[in-house]
Chain A
Amino acid sequence: MLLSPINIAFKNCKNEKRPALLTYTVASDPSKNKSLKILKSISEYVDILEVGFGHSTPIADGGQIQTSSYRAIKNGFKMKDAFQIVKNYKKLKNTKPIILMGYYNMIYQYGEDKFINKCKKVGVNGLIVVDLPWPENKKFSKKCKKKSITFVQLLSPTTSKDRLKKIVKDSHEMIYYISMLSTTGGKLKVSPKKILKNYNKIKKIDPKKNYVIGFGITDKTISKLKTADGLVVGSAICKEITKSLNKRQNPVTNVSNMVKRLKNKII
């Protein structure tokens, strides 16, 4: 069987004995053009790029990502822009897998099938839908699989044992473990040791799959979690964009430098 680009990315990292670095940025933040430039500039340090399509009523995002999403929407962000950004990014020579992430209503309004086809067409490799949990997502996840798009299931510290097993079984090659009870970007209120303990328990259910940890990961905490298959940094990057804009600095350079620093902490 052919390995998916997401699988290959994890495999490469395992060969280098390090976790995969995943970033999350919001499409059209701070502008359509600049968000593409950010993706291009961080591409060489990152293993998988998560790109958010911002929503006006996010129920699981913390302040930093909300700010980014509202900024994008205020700048006129439309769903089609996210696809265009991915399409243009994928014109680069060495591209990384892209995972689109957002809330279900945007997909529902676009039309599930039309959305998946469009993803396929522009080169999206995976999808995370924050408010479409298992088992409600079973049908959608199957549709993704048919088009070789990875549907990423989420697990949280509140997920029951029985549920964990069922979700892992139904999941594709990548699974996202939410580190703690929090919206995105919360302060890490659980010790990395405890997070990893939970993480390893889950990993045992099916060690062949790739599990990433997200929520609350910054340049201060990332190195303590590096035994994971992958680590997602989102809010810290969104915060950097906001900070750069406030200081009238170039967010592209600043984010790029930050991601480089993050990478250095996990190799």
Chain B
Amino acid sequence: MKIKKKIALIDQHDKNGFWGGKFGGSFIPETLKKPVHDLAKSFAKLRKNKNFIKKRDYYFKNYIGSPTPFIKLENLSSHLGGAQIWAKVVSEANGGAHKIYNATVHALLCKSMGKKYIVGDTGAGYAGKMLSMAAKKFGLKCKIFMGVKDIKRQKPNCIAIRKNGAEIVPVYTGSQTLVDAVSECMRYWVSNCDTTHMCVGSTVGPNIFVKVCGWSTSQISRELKVQIKKEFGKIPKKIKLINCVGGGSSAYGFWSEFVDFPKTQIEFIGVEAGGPKNSKLHAAPLSKNAKLGVLHGSASYVCQNKDGQINETDSISAGLDYPGVSPIHCFLKDTKRAKYTYATDESALAAYKMVTKFEKLNPSLEPSHAFAEAIKIAPKLSKDTIIIVNSCGDAKKDKDILKKRLGKY
């Protein structure tokens, strides 16, 4: 298994849609074959279409607010000693998280394909909020599928979704979290694929959804590359790009432009959700060595039992609370281009506390997992090491959880 140079990772799959010969694919019911095929065809055409790219860039700049800031966390760095810690503040994007890139592109695709309805899944509520925003912006009718447990714990985003005129469809099945929301959304699409476009909220699902999402979020690293060069004059010798990984869409976008650099120069560290400290439950299929399995239309490492039933997961962060992960991250893991680890609920909370104490930054619980890793390793590293954390979401949505767990927000 090898990564090819000069080809975007999203395009490094074989003709059956598998990365590294075994991750990804399209394990879908027959009914979805046609809409998935149509979407793949449209996407292949549109991504080469100059007008479409122009449109995308226009909305990325004027609607999403690209580029998002790249800042040094001076206080945190000097407090910890060791490496310099920087942040790519993607949470400054319109709506407050990276999910807006994928949502905007899907809305544009939906419109180009002449469909009027768009549906999507959400865990933390950001994918749902952004899709509802994009739907409103482009005049599409929108339904968001969300687990009942997540509706309760991510209230601010739910309010935003409804304000944008979208309907939230509560999902009561299974663990009532993201995994069930994705299943229910796919089931809805099976029944309505003739009129409706589906947006999968991360780099997961059947092959084409991994590609569209990765293509959208890669804007993050395109910006970052320019910003790094501007800041340092060239690409520094020792960079560590730390990103949280649930489905893996923000990590993909944060890393994609840098894949061809040697890993001794630019290292990728993905941080999964380790769950509560003393619990067996987690949402860390990569770092806890889960087995290969098929979930939601693609093959990836999946938290599952011996029989192949999907395990329940647990994480304080709804956005990372997912038993599977992007096939591309499985590919990056097995080719050893990226390293994956996890942070527990408790260390994410501690990281949130520390970051907000020293910096004017308010990372949500998802990137707080990445900050936990940065805080852990920074003191041991030299001053010329540049750690960059993707602060990919804003903590406003976590208000209730933070109040409960830390006593204040």
Which A residues form the contact surface with B (CB < 8 A)?
Answer: 55-62, 66, 70, 73, 78-79, 103-110, 130-134, 136, 154-160, 163, 178, 181-183, 186
Contact check, A110 vs B308: say whether CB atoms are below 8 A apart: yes
Interface residues of B in 318-349 (CB under 8 A from A): none
Which B residues form the contact surface with A (CB < 8 A)?
Answer: 16, 25-35, 173-174, 179-180, 183, 186-187, 190-194, 291-297, 302, 304, 306-310
Contact check, B194 vs A158: say whether CB atoms are below 8 A apart: yes
Most buried by A among B16, B34, B306, B307: B307
Q: How far apart are B209's CB and chain A's nearest CB, in angstroms? A: 13
Q: Which residue of B lies closest to A159 (CB)?
A: B30
Q: How far apart are A204's CB and chain B's nearest CB, in angstroms? A: 19
Given the contacts A60-B187, A108-B308, A154-B29, A181 and B192 also touching, CB distance less than 8 Å: yes
CA distance A61 to B190 in the complex (A): 10
Contact check, A56 vs B191: say whether CB atoms are below 8 A apart: no
Q: How far apart are B13's CB and chain A's nearest CB, in angstroms? A: 14
Q: Which of B30, B187, B297, B309 contacts A154 (CB 8 A)?
A: B30
A-B contacts counted at CB < 8 A amount to: 115
Residues of A near B293 (CB, < 8 A) are 105, 108-109
Contact check, A136 vs B29: say whether CB atoms are below 8 A apart: no
Q: Which of A60, A108, A178, A181 contacts B294 (CB 8 A)?
A: A108
Q: How far apart are B199's CB and chain A's nearest CB, in angstroms? A: 16
Residues of A near B31 (CB, < 8 A) are 60, 156-158, 178, 181
Contact check, A73 vs B309: say whether CB atoms are below 8 A apart: yes
Residues of B near A131 (CB, < 8 A) are 27-29, 294, 297
Inter-chain pairs besides A159-B33, A183-B191, 13 sampled, C-beta below 8 Å: A57-B180, A57-B296, A57-B310, A59-B29, A60-B190, A109-B291, A131-B28, A131-B294, A133-B30, A136-B27, A155-B30, A160-B34, A181-B191
**SS class of chain B's interface: helix, strand, loop or mixed?**
mixed
Contact check, B34 vs A133: say whether CB atoms are below 8 A apart: no
Contact check, A186 vs B191: say whether CB atoms are below 8 A apart: yes
Q: How far apart are B180's CB and chain A's nearest CB, in angstroms? A: 8
Q: Which residue of B lies closest to A108 (CB)?
A: B294
Q: Which residue of B lies closest to A180 (CB)?
A: B191
Contact check, A158 vs B193: say whether CB atoms are below 8 A apart: yes
CA distance A183 to B237 in the complex (A): 53
Contact check, B27 vs A132: say whether CB atoms are below 8 A apart: yes
**SS class of chain A's interface: helix, strand, loop or mixed?**
loop
Contact check, A163 vs B33: say whether CB atoms are below 8 A apart: yes
Q: List 14 A-B contacts (CB under 8 A).
A: A57-B179, A60-B190, A79-B307, A106-B309, A110-B307, A131-B294, A133-B33, A155-B30, A158-B31, A158-B33, A158-B34, A158-B35, A159-B30, A181-B190
Q: How far apart are A172's CB and chain B's nearest CB, in angstroms? A: 16
Contact check, A130 vs B173: say whether CB atoms are below 8 A apart: no
CA distance A105 to B297 in the complex (A): 10
Most buried by B among A58, A59, A107, A159: A59
Contact check, A70 vs B174: say whether CB atoms are below 8 A apart: yes
CA distance A154 to B192 in the complex (A): 18
Contact check, A105 vs B295: say whether CB atoms are below 8 A apart: yes
Contact check, B294 vs A182: say whether CB atoms are below 8 A apart: no
Contact check, B183 vs A103: say whether CB atoms are below 8 A apart: no
Most buried by B among A79, A105, A160: A105
Contact check, B308 vs A55: say whether CB atoms are below 8 A apart: yes
Residues of B near A61 (CB, < 8 A) are 187
Contact check, A183 vs B173: say whether CB atoms are below 8 A apart: no
Contact check, A105 vs B187: say whether CB atoms are below 8 A apart: no
CA distance A104 to B297 in the complex (A): 10
Q: How far apart are A107's CB and chain B's nearest CB, in angstroms? A: 8
Q: Which of A55, A70, A78, A133 contacts B29 (CB 8 A)?
A: A133
Contact check, A183 vs B309: say whether CB atoms are below 8 A apart: no
Contact check, A156 vs B30: say whether CB atoms are below 8 A apart: yes
Residues of A near B25 (CB, < 8 A) are 136
CA distance A213 to B150 in the complex (A): 38
Residues of A near B297 (CB, < 8 A) are 59, 131
Residues of B near A70 (CB, < 8 A) are 173-174
Q: Which residue of A lies closest to B26 (CB)?
A: A136
Most buried by B among A130, A178, A181: A181
Q: Which residue of A lies closest to B174 (CB)?
A: A56
CA distance A178 to B26 in the complex (A): 19
Closest 7 CB pairs of A and B: A109-B308, A158-B34, A156-B31, A105-B294, A60-B29, A105-B308, A154-B30
Contact check, B183 vs A59: say whether CB atoms are below 8 A apart: yes
Q: Which of A73, A106, A182 contacts B190 (CB 8 A)?
A: A182
CA distance A6 to B173 in the complex (A): 35
Contact check, B29 vs A130: say whether CB atoms are below 8 A apart: yes
Q: How far apart are B20's CB and chain A's nearest CB, in angstroms? A: 17
Residues of A near B295 (CB, < 8 A) are 57, 105
Q: Which residue of B lies closest to A103 (CB)?
A: B294
CA distance A73 to B305 in the complex (A): 12
Given the contacts A78-B307, A109-B306, A62 and B27 also touching, CB distance less than 8 Å: no
Q: How far apart are A54's CB and chain B's nearest CB, in angstroms? A: 9
Q: Which residue of B lies closest to A107 (CB)?
A: B308
Q: How far apart are B182's CB and chain A's nearest CB, in angstroms? A: 8
Q: Which residue of B lies closest to A154 (CB)?
A: B30
Contact check, A59 vs B294: say whether CB atoms are below 8 A apart: no
